[in-house]
Amino acid sequence: MQSIDEGRCESMTQIGDAIKHERENLKWSQERLAREASKFSEKSIPTITVGNIERGTIVNPGIDKVGPIADALGVTVDHLRHFESSHDKSTTGAR
């Protein structure tokens, strides 16, 4: 099983920020995302886990959590991993 650590994010909240951004674009609650992600997982993904990943309180979320979340959101894990750096580039000039 692949670990997110293999392609570690620059910040612990990078994946969380990306997940929150994509979830809010869909106008989904954390509960809805947890329910949808659980459809792509062998184990249920609790709402609290989605919240903890979004806040960055889960230090290294595994692919067993992030993979199903990405699937539910309709994006790739790589998209989530690289979200912040591409987002920062587009907003850097506005400072």
Indicate the pTM of the whole model.
0.78
Fold of 10-87: 434 Repressor (Amino-terminal Domain) (1.10.260)
pLDDT in tens, 53-95: 999 999 789 999 999 999 999 999 999 998 864 445 444 444 4
Question: How do residues 26-61 score in pLDDT, each as one tens digit?
Answer: 999 999 999 999 999 999 999 999 999 999 999 789
Structure tokens at 65: 């959590």
Contacts of 73 by beta carbon, 8 Å cutoff, 6+ apart = 19, 22, 23, 26, 33
**Number of alpha carbons in the 13 Å side-chain half-sphere of residue 16:** 18
Spell out the domain ranges in the chain: 10-87
Dist CA 33 CA 47 (whole Å): 8
